[in-house]
Amino acid sequence: MEQHGEKRSVSRTMILKFALAFGLLGALSFAMEHWGEGYMTRLTAWVAAQGGLGPVLFIALNALMTMLLVPQVLFTVAAGALFGWKFGAAYASVGMTIGAVGAFLLARYGVRDRLRARYRDNSIYRRMQKLSRSHPLHLISLSRVIPVLPFPVTSYLLGITEVRSLPYAFLSWVCMLPETLFLASGGHLLNAGVTGRTSAEAAVVLVAAGAAVAVVVHRIKKKLLEEGEGD
């Protein structure tokens, strides 16, 4: 019963996270476009006119915000709205990975003792520490696929476990790609609906369908990882 409750809690948390991100940025984009004299259209055009500077600044800001524990869902949706789903997903993925590696290295070589003292009695951290010795790759994959803790917090905690830096960086990037693609695509559709390039109804339907698929995929992955851990 407890495991089923945890599964439902994880799914509800993920759905709520996605809904809040799309709702907040959707409302902001709508206000900017319809009450701000087309400002959303002008903003995306201005970002495109910056050439390579725009992506560099976005990646740097995204990485910094990751290290400062700012939720990355908003940045990924915004990336899709500003750069389109392909480039937005790429820039968000690079920014998150750089920020995650930065948080990992800061935890391991900068504030290791402080973090260990802070989370010494935390049950999730104790389990992470145990798994990092026996199944480090499973731990990295599980922590990125299943949102038990926020992405930035997990990056710091993994830095004070036994996982190694190179597998951590690679698996963090790979395991976050499906969610990054989904969120960036949702941001792209959201912007297209708000600015009139496609109907708002079509954008909402496509984002809702994508969210349903993402929930199913997360549940399948969670089940497989739990079965692997049990074995």
Read off the pLDDT band of 155 (50, 70, 90).
Answer: very high
Stretch 136-145: mean pLDDT: 85
Token pair of 57 as six digits: 């600044």
Stretch 16-41: mean pLDDT: 58
Stretch 132-142: mean pLDDT: 88
Distance between first and last Cα of the chain: 20
DSSP string of 96-144? HHHHHHHHHHHHHHTSHHHHHHHHTT-HHHHHHHHHHHH-HHHHHHHHH
Alpha carbon distances (Å) from 151 to 96, 146, 175, 204:
9, 10, 12, 26
Residue 49, SS3?
helix
Please write the tens of the pLDDT for every residue from 13-22: 655 665 665 5
* Alpha carbons 11 and 31: distance in angstroms, whole number: 30
Stretch 137-148: mean pLDDT: 81
Given a cut of 80, whether residue 41 has pLDDT beyond it is no
| Chain center to CA of 231 | 29
Percentage of the chain modeled with pLDDT above 90:
23
Given a cut of 70, whether residue 9 has pLDDT beyond it is no
What would you report as the CA-atom Rg of the chain, rounded to the nearest whole angstrom?
19
Q: Which is more confidently placed, 52 or 42? A: 52
pLDDT of residue 63: 93
* Alpha carbons 77 and 189: distance in angstroms, whole number: 10
Token pair of 38 as six digits: 């087309």
Percentage of the chain modeled with pLDDT above 70:
62
Given a cut of 90, whether residue 189 has pLDDT beyond it is no
Domain ranges in the chain are 2-230
pTM: 0.73
Token pair of 45 as six digits: 């055009």
* Alpha carbons 141 and 127: distance in angstroms, whole number: 15
pLDDT of residue 97: 95
Q: Which is more confidently placed, 164 or 38? A: 164
Token pair of 176 as six digits: 């976050």
